[in-house]
Amino acid sequence: MAKAILDKILGTLLASVAVIAAVPQEVNAQGFDGSFAPDQWELFNSSPVLSDNSDNSEVTIGGIPLAPFNGSADFTNAPDSLTLLGSNQSQILDEFGLDCQSVDPSFLFLCGTSFTTVFVTVPEDSILSFNWDYTTADRATTGPSGPAFDPFGFALGNFPPTDPRTDGSFTELIDRDGPFEQTGSASVEVSANQIFGFQIGTADNQGGRATATISQFQVRRVSDPTAVPEPASGLAIAAVAGLGWHFTKKSSHKK
C-alpha cells in the first residue's frame, strides 16, 4: 500500500517537473528564416586601430582600396546554414607584392588584430541553439599559428558592433589549444532586442583565414521568462531531489 502511494506521488511530482521543463520549448524559427533570414543579419569588420570603431572597408594606400579586414558571411546554403569567414589581410597585401614583414611601418596596422561579426537583433526572449564546424588555414611553417590566432565564438550585447557604445561580450566556443578542425554545439539565452552575433577574431591577419559553418540553428521562444514554479511544483522538485533522483540540465553559454 505504501509503495502504491509513493509511486502515485512520484508520478505526480515527475509530471510537474516535466511541465516546468517544457516552458521554453516553443519553437520560433528553424534555420536561418523569418526574423533570422539572411537579410536580417549584418556584417561588420573592425579593428581597435580605429578609435571610432568604424568599418575599415574604405582604407586605401595610394588611393587604391585595400578593403582591409576582409572577413565575410556566406548565406548561400541558407536556411540550412551560414558560413562565417574571418579576416586574412595578408591575402590583399600579396596582390601588391607586400607582406606583413616588408610593408611600410605606417601600414603595419593592416597586420594587426581585427574581428568579423555577423549579427542580428533578437526580437523576443529566446534560447538560440546551433551546431558549429570550425577550421583555420592559419598553419604557418614559422612562428605560432592555429586556433589561438583565430578564435571563434558568439558576441552578445545591447548595442550593435557598429556603435561606439557597444557593451558586448565575446564567448569563445573553440579550444585555442585544440586541433585546426573542431566541432561543437551551443545554446544561448538572449533577451528581447539584444544583439547576437557569430564572431571570428583575428590576431595578426596573416597565415590564412578561419572559417566557421553554423547549422541546425533553432530559436525557441521563452514564453514567460519571469514565471516561477508554483509552490506545488517547487515542492515536486525538492521532493524528487530528496528521494535521490538526479536531473541534469545542459549548460547554456553566457557571458
Domains and CATH numbers, the chain: 1-23+229-255 (no CATH), 25-226 (2.60.120)
Task: Give the number of other Cβ atoms within 10 Å of residue 240's Cβ.
Answer: 17
d(C-alpha 135, C-alpha 51), whole Å = 30
Task: Give the number of other Cβ atoms within 10 Å of residue 109's Cβ.
Answer: 20
pLDDT digits (tens, 9 = 90+) for 128-187: 999 999 999 876 544 456 788 889 999 999 999 888 787 888 999 999 888 889 999 999
pTM, full prediction: 0.70
d(C-alpha 170, C-alpha 165), whole Å = 15
Residue 190 backbone phi and psi in degrees, to 5:
-130, 135
d(C-alpha 129, C-alpha 119), whole Å = 15
- Range 224-245 average pLDDT: 35
pLDDT digits (tens, 9 = 90+) for 38-77: 999 999 987 655 545 455 555 565 665 555 577 899 999 9
Q: Which helix (H) or strand (E) holds 3?
A: helix 2-22
Write out the three cell numbers for 211. Answer: 572559417
